[in-house]
Amino acid sequence: MKYSAPIRVLLLVLLVPCLAACQETPETPETPATPATQETASQALPRTPSPDGASVYIISPRDAASGIPAGEVTVVFGLKGMGVAPAGIDFPDTGHHHLLVNAKETPRLDIPLPADDNHIHFGKGQTETTLNLEPGTYTLQLILGDKNHIPHDPPVMSEKVTITVK
């Protein structure tokens, strides 16, 4: 079937973004997307508003849990008042999880969250993960990021959970 030049252009304009969106992003907790790091980002960026009453929390493990066997520890995320959407998807009142593991301080809230061993991104919309933990004490905290990995305004951030792995 032959199409006129304007129709071909319109089809390309409509199909290219759809095809790009269908490509699977190789983002996992081990190989996150590469948002700007806190060291290289110097200017604050626009923040997405969060709805009143939105909260994020860690369902499991519980705060002060001790005697957790070393090895694979499953962390289950909870979210109230918002939905989960993958990074890059702009849908109202949604975001995706970032897990802070033994983060020494709260990251900047006006730029994309860093991606490293202490700041794990879940840009595909995952709601749990399994960490391989050696014996020791760990702090875990969730923070929701918008489509660009930037925390919402006000931030949707959990309380810290402290666990002891034996």
pLDDT tens, the chain, 166 aa long: 454 544 443 444 344 344 344 333 334 443 344 444 444 456 888 999 999 999 999 999 999 999 999 999 999 999 999 999 999 999 999 999 999 999 999 999 999 999 999 999 999 999 999 999 999 999 999 999 999 999 999 999 999 999 999 9
**Distance in angstroms (rounded) separating the CA atoms of residues 112 and 146:** 9
CATH superfamily of 50-165: Immunoglobulins (2.60.40.10)
pTM above 0.85, yes or no: no
Phi-psi region of 148 (alpha: psi -120 to 50; beta: other; left: phi over 0): alpha
Question: What are the sequence ranges of the domains in the chain?
Answer: 50-165
State the residue for tokens 């900047």: 108
Determine contact, residues 161/66, Cβ cutoff 8 Å: no
145, 157, 143, 127: which is closest to 33 by C-alpha? 145
